[in-house]
Structure 1
Amino acid sequence: MLVRILAPAALVAALLAPPALGQASLAPSPPDSSYLYTPEGQILQQFLDAYNTGDRSALERFAATHYTGDYLANYGGPQGRADHWLNKFSQLGPLRFHTTGAFMGRPVAWLLGTVSQGWLGQILLLTDEPAPRVRGHMSLVGSGPPGVRSLPEPLDPPSLPGYLDAYLTRLASHDLFAGTVLVAKDGRTVFERSVGHANLGHDIPNHLDTRFALASLGKLFTAVGVLRLADEGALTLDDPLARFIPEYPEHIGRQVTIRHLLTHTSGIELDEIEAFEQAKDAAASLDELLHAHLTFLDSLENVEAFAPLDHFDYSNEGYDLLGLVVERASGMPYEAYIREGVFAPAGMYASGLLSEPFIPHLALGYYSGLGRDGTPKAGVPVEFQHRQAFPHPSGGHYSTAGDLLRFVNALVRHELLQEPTAARSLARQVVVGEEPGRASYYGLGFEIHEEAGLTSFGHDGAYSGISTALSVYPEVGYTVIVLSNYSFVAKTVARHLREVIASL
């Protein structure tokens, strides 16, 4: 039986409450219609001529002609620039100039994917020579200019499935996407389709029951596990880390709380230390991963004067520590608690951990990068199959689009968390980013976005051969789930679907 799911008022109120830290200024920047007549605009047009060929030699010639020697020396020469743009081509496809505006006081050219409908903003910094050359540039990948949509005209709900079907067909025909897209309204699926291959070598297509590695989207399960334990009285969000992990240095363990770990404000950030990453990769259990933490904490610049942060700083290490907290607070292995405390109550029987010995229907990951012949296309197998030696709470999960919808429905029905806890999880705890026309925050494990007149909660994830996005729009009742076994492309698709939802 299909049940109409309406977002409870408490969830909507939590999303619309003021942020805990900071305040956004979201006035749109006016466009500059004269951009194409500037030196930057003329170079941009030559860039598009080279980029849209998808040809490495054309991009290398463009870079050698229009970039300064110093810039090329720092960024891999013409070959490095060509690699960069070919990877963008594989994510966004061909681009065309759309409009201009301003970002941080500089003119920005907004380019739109003719197939992907994905946006790319370009800010070019030129020398003052008689023949200007690029001495630097900034790429804004993601959402487009404030108040501007890529859709030629608004859609209505009855036309949504047909539009999405045609959109996915275009993406797949240009090899820009492989995976599953699901859109639901009030908890009921209104569109679901899989395209591309789960296994190229064996010619196995993606199906609706294909399971995808989730990368950081799986942090939602760890966060909900922690919050369930809070509902059960096994912990509080203001408990110090030392209560559950006394092995941590006392001056850190006494200051960092569970709340800090959930909101990425703990200040525990080790993944820029190469030796730590090697030790992390060699770990065979959460306890061994903790040992790697303890070994390399002295490498933190502020280890002697350590203090939690008053701002957001994304930390996979923090969520792996939360996995240990789950184990020690529940008395169960992490994977057992997530399976019994999160997956089972939500009816997610096609979900699990990538450390399991056998995972049927798991898609292989493919780089969204250069093909074997050097052309810009997806379909280069990664060197691993997204399997892990032990459960990684920061991103070691797999699922299907259907199971993720069950997760969302269980969450809004308060079958996973008590209503006050669910509302607190979606309250803005810390500012992630603010720019004209959009703002992002982090709750207790949930990403919160405001853009195109809509507020959403969820999470995304990306790794080699993985890109995922889950977005719930409680004010209008839509849920969007994008799972891909190509790198980085899920965000492009999910952002376009945000524009589609906003137009309905």
Structure 2
Amino acid sequence: MMETIKQVAKETAKAETFAGTYYVVTPEGIVTDSFGFANRAERIPNQTNTRYGIASGTKLLTAMAICQLADSGKLSLHAKLADCLEIDFLAIDPEITVHQLLTHTSGIADYFDEEVMDDYEELWQQTPVYQMRKGKDFLPLFQQQEMKEKPGTTFRYNNSGYIVLGLVVEQASGLSFSDYVEKAIFQKAGMPRSGFFEMDALPEGAALGYIDEENGKWRTNVFSVPAKGGADGGAFVTAPEMARLWQELSAGKLMSKEMVASLLAPHVQVEDDLFYGYGGYMKGEAGRVYKHIFMGYDPGVNFRMACYPETGHVLVVCSNNSDGAFELQTAIETALFT
């Protein structure tokens, strides 16, 4: 089985021109491999311990931070926004709850509304991307926009909601969002190579994100994503450390098992067998969850993680290209389960 996974992954990576790392935890052991370059100009290859951006995969970290703070009594999952955040709400309904923000049912306007635009880079034509380094920097992008729906009525994937959650974490903890996550999650889970790095000051071993043009040329994503990631996306991790995070979380080492159950419960039905919990999707039926799904997509970033609670399998795919992670994940899952 291990050799089959490795061969299937190799063939798929070649067909998709995949650049990145996959890391599979199975009951029989670990399978991993890397492809492409972390730095194309210097021809530095991607490796197992390469640090990759994970875009919206970061929302799992944000949800974990909120649940930790709720676990310690510093906030309530059902607290109203007005009771746990001191900002000028302007057009944002102060009656929105933390739970609604976590489940994308808050109804607030999204600063990246995919019904209006489909290219994340469009955002930075008017707003200097190099200024986007803290959660509060994003508030002008949505703070005065009218509510989209009544809170609690509609699932609508929402980056703005997670920006707000990051501000809630800061007020409840007294730390910046990135400092809190690095201290309470990365350090406790044993993730020393993970962090929130500034795009113009990346550390050793961090992969540059690449955007391929139709004319065959390419460019990095330094001007295409915020200068520093935050609560809605942009953390850097290694593939093995993300697998470790899931194992530490599942074992109840980062919060109480009761809170873990709440974090990973199917709170909102998105489609027939697809649900959303706090920070991630899941597949399930009749009260049974058989697959947790975490993902992130940005220009030059492509991340997928699938976790199977019944079998113990964990599959992490990190890419420093805009595409390819889903195709590689699908090929590996086919090899694993058929």
TM-score category (smaller protein)? 0.7 to 0.9
Shift of 1:450: 4.0
What does residue range 101-140 of structure 1 map to in structure 2 within 5 Å?
none
Q: Which residue of 2 aligns with 1:183?
A: 24
From the superposition, tell whether residues 267 and 179 of structure 1 become closer, same or farther in structure 2 (CA, over 3 Å): same
Q: Which residue of 2 aligns with 1:426?
A: 264
Q: Which amino acid aligns with 1:332?
A: L
Q: Which residue of 2 aligns with 1:489?
A: 324
Tell me the distance in 2 between the aligned counterparts of 1:314 and 1:387.
Answer: 19
- Render the CA deviation track for 1:85-111: whole Å, top value 9, x for unaligned: xxxxxxxxxxxxxxxxxxxxxxxxxxx
Shift of 1:246: 3.3
Name stretches of at least 5 consecutive residues in structure 2 with no aligned partner: none
Tell me the distance in 2 between the aligned counterparts of 1:418 and 1:480.
Answer: 24
Tell me the distance in 2 between the aligned counterparts of 1:165 and 1:283.
Answer: 39
Shift of 1:345: 0.8
| Counterpart check, 1:445 vs 2:279 | yes
Q: Which residue of 2 aligns with 1:312?
A: 155
1:481 match: secondary structure: strand
Q: Which amino acid aligns with 2:328?
A: V
TM-score (norm 2): 0.88
From the superposition, tell whether residues 243 and 276 of structure 1 become closer, same or farther in structure 2 (CA, over 3 Å): farther
From the superposition, tell whether residues 385 and 207 of structure 1 become closer, same or farther in structure 2 (CA, over 3 Å): farther
From the superposition, tell whether residues 301 and 341 of structure 1 become closer, same or farther in structure 2 (CA, over 3 Å): closer
What does residue range 29-428 of structure 1 map to in structure 2 within 5 Å?
159=1, 161-174=2-15, 176-186=17-27, 189-249=29-89, 252-270=92-110, 271-272=112-113, 278-279=126-127, 281=129, 282-294=131-143, 296-297=144-145, 300=146, 307-355=150-198, 357-367=201-211, 370-372=214-216, 380-384=218-222, 388-428=226-266
Q: Which amino acid aligns with 1:183?
A: V
Tell me the distance in 2 between the aligned counterparts of 1:172 and 1:422.
Answer: 34
- Render the CA deviation track for 1:431-470: whole Å, top value 9, x for unaligned: 1223xxxx2110122210249x982113011111111111
Tell me the distance in 2 between the aligned counterparts of 1:276 and 1:370.
Answer: 21
Shift of 1:241: 1.1
Asked if 1 retains the 8 angstrom alpha-carbon contact of 2:92 and 2:108, the reply is no
Shift of 1:425: 1.3
- Computing the radius of gyration from Cα coordinates, the structure with the larger value is 1
1:459 match: secondary structure: strand
Tell me the distance in 1 between the aligned counterparts of 2:280 and 2:229.
Answer: 20
Q: Which amino acid aligns with 1:492?
A: E
2:271 match: secondary structure: strand
Shift of 1:195: 1.2
Tell me the distance in 1 between the aligned counterparts of 2:335 and 2:108.
Answer: 38
Tell me the distance in 2 between the aligned counterparts of 1:385 and 1:500.
Answer: 38
Tell me the distance in 2 between the aligned counterparts of 1:334 and 1:454.
Answer: 30
Q: Which amino acid aligns with 1:185?
A: T
Tell me the distance in 2 between the aligned counterparts of 1:280 and 1:238.
Answer: 35
Structural RMSD (CA):
2.6
Tell me the distance in 2 between the aligned counterparts of 1:502 and 1:234.
Answer: 42
Asked if 1 retains the 8 angstrom alpha-carbon contact of 2:268 and 2:277, the reply is yes
Tell me the distance in 2 between the aligned counterparts of 1:174 and 1:244.
Answer: 49
Shift of 1:488: 2.4
TM-score (norm 1): 0.60
Asked if 2 retains the 8 angstrom alpha-carbon contact of 1:367 and 1:486, the reply is yes
Name stretches of at least 5 consecutive residues in structure 1 with no aligned partner: 1-158, 374-379
2:293 match: secondary structure: strand
1:409 match: secondary structure: helix
Q: Which residue of 1 aligns with 2:306?
A: 471
Higher deviation after alignment, 362-371 or 424-433: 362-371
Number of residue pairs matched?
326
Q: Which amino acid aligns with 1:447?
A: Y
1:424 match: secondary structure: helix
Asked if 2 retains the 8 angstrom alpha-carbon contact of 1:478 and 1:501, the reply is no
From the superposition, tell whether residues 301 and 269 of structure 1 become closer, same or farther in structure 2 (CA, over 3 Å): closer
- Render the CA deviation track for 1:60-95: whole Å, top value 9, x for unaligned: xxxxxxxxxxxxxxxxxxxxxxxxxxxxxxxxxxxx
Asked if 2 retains the 8 angstrom alpha-carbon contact of 1:458 and 1:472, the reply is yes
Asked if 2 retains the 8 angstrom alpha-carbon contact of 1:364 and 1:381, the reply is no
Higher deviation after alignment, 270-279 or 459-468: 270-279
Higher deviation after alignment, 481-490 or 283-292: 283-292
- Render the CA deviation track for 1:26-76: whole Å, top value 9, x for unaligned: xxxxxxxxxxxxxxxxxxxxxxxxxxxxxxxxxxxxxxxxxxxxxxxxxxx
Asked if 1 retains the 8 angstrom alpha-carbon contact of 2:12 and 2:327, the reply is no
Tell me the distance in 2 between the aligned counterparts of 1:332 and 1:448.
Answer: 31
From the superposition, tell whether residues 301 and 184 of structure 1 become closer, same or farther in structure 2 (CA, over 3 Å): closer
Higher deviation after alignment, 201-210 or 354-363: 354-363
